Structure 1
Amino acid sequence: MYSICRRIIFLETVAGVPGMVAAMTRHLHSLRRMRRDYGWIHTLLEEAENERMHLLTALHLKRPGPFFRACVILGQGIFVNFFILSYLISPRFCHRFVGYLEEEAVITYTKCLNQIDRGYLPMWAKMDAPDIARTYWQLKPDAKMRDVILAIRADEAHHRLVNHTLASINPEQKNPYKPGE
């Protein structure tokens, strides 16, 4: 169980980076050019916030120690700089790349669900959903950890769709996703 928790926590600390970096880059670009962004910034910030909520939920399962936190700082430092440079060079590539990363997240959470269903994670099958998760995803009061994993997997599938869509359209084209979608 703890190896899954570590993997989820580490991945979610990095998963919030692309949306924030892309939103910041597009925001600064919009300010420099003194032109509209056509609704991309909001969607990208929503994605970053959603990934942060995945992390905050996972932290209710396991609290990382100092070495793990140092690895997160190092990983984020490398990834943020890599992603900023990459986004400046090719936003389309970055959105496509993130779409594929999100597909891997869907696979990871699907494997997690399979392990719960097969009895390999009995603690998670019986564990109540953390309050933060019940509130954020508006889950039933008796929701279990499995329900949380289902909600997170649905988010990751949506992020996959959004990023592949943004990779396929012109960066000057209107964002097809309205706030909250």
Structure 2
Amino acid sequence: MSNIITTNIFTLSQKRYGCRAVMLETVAAVPGMVGGMLLHLRSLRRFEHSGGWIRALMEEAENERMHLMTFMEVSQPQWYERLLVITVQGIFYNAYFLGYMISPKFAHRVVGYLEEEAIYSYTAFLKEIDAGAIENGPAPAIAIDYWRLPKDARLRDVVIVIRADEAHHRDVNHFASDIHCQGQQLMQWSAPIGYH
């Protein structure tokens, strides 16, 4: 009986963090795409370079997409969880688009803080893995390929590299917001690119 209860608690804990990661990454994949797209269109309209910011933000969006794809493999969400992903993404995309149009400074700052929350979540995820509450299973093949991890990489290794990505995204977005706070445009500063 206690074995059944332990197994169920273990499964729920793993599922909870997997679903939380899927939801975080669903939202996190939006800002880079929106910011990159709006900067791209501005660059085309004004015939000016972006200082590498289009690439940096699109790189962030792609990286966050890979986080989502990785945790989709890990958590194997149900159809209703996938529907929730679509709904949350649709709402957040439109809200962030409007927010970025009104105040890029505020939009980047919000993303910086969201990334900080992601770092806390992944740190808690690591603690659960280290405590044995979540199985440190094999890393998904998609993660091994994308982050060039060793073939014998485990879930813990994946969470560590994803947390490092989130720290980088946090720094980039706070930097972008700081540029706007100084009354300058992103194109006046070189973007931090080439992280991957």
Scaled to the shorter chain, the TM-score interval is over 0.9
Query: Among residues 159, 174, 178, which one is paired with 1:149 in the alignment?
Result: 159
Amino acid paired to 2:143: A
Aligned to 1:109: 122
RMSD over aligned CA atoms reads 1.2
**TM alignment of 1:114-129, pairs within 5 A:** 114-121=127-134, 123=135, 125=136, 127-129=137-139
SS at match of 2:73: coil
Query: Among residues 52, 56, 63, which one is paired with 1:39 in the alignment?
Result: 52
**TM alignment of 1:18-167, pairs within 5 A:** 18-121=31-134, 123=135, 125=136, 127-167=137-177
Q: Is the 8 A contact 1:166 1:175 kept in 2?
A: no
Residues of 2 paired with 1:59 and 1:145: CA distance? 13
TM-score by length of structure 2 reads 0.87
Residues of 2 paired with 1:54 and 1:160: CA distance? 15
Q: Is the 8 A contact 2:139 2:158 kept in 1?
A: yes
Q: Deviations over 1:48-92 (max 9, x none)?
A: 000010111111112222221221121111111111111011111
Aligned to 2:193: 178
SS at match of 1:177: coil
SS at match of 1:60: helix
Q: Is the 8 A contact 2:30 2:61 kept in 1?
A: yes
Q: Deviations over 1:117-169 (max 9, x none)?
A: 11211x2x2x1111111111111121111000000000001100111111111
Q: Which of the pair has more CA radius of gyration?
A: 2
Amino acid paired to 2:160: L
Residues of 1 paired with 2:47 and 2:67: CA distance? 34
Q: Is the 8 A contact 1:42 1:179 kept in 2?
A: no
Gaps of 5+ in 1: none
Q: Answer with 57-66 or 17-26: which moved more.
A: 57-66
Residues of 1 paired with 2:18 and 2:195: CA distance? 28
Identity of aligned residues (%): 51
Q: Is the 8 A contact 2:56 2:191 kept in 1?
A: no
Q: Is the 8 A contact 1:109 1:149 kept in 2?
A: yes
Q: CA deviation at 1:101?
A: 0.3
Residues of 2 paired with 1:112 and 1:10: CA distance? 14
Gaps of 5+ in 2: 1-13
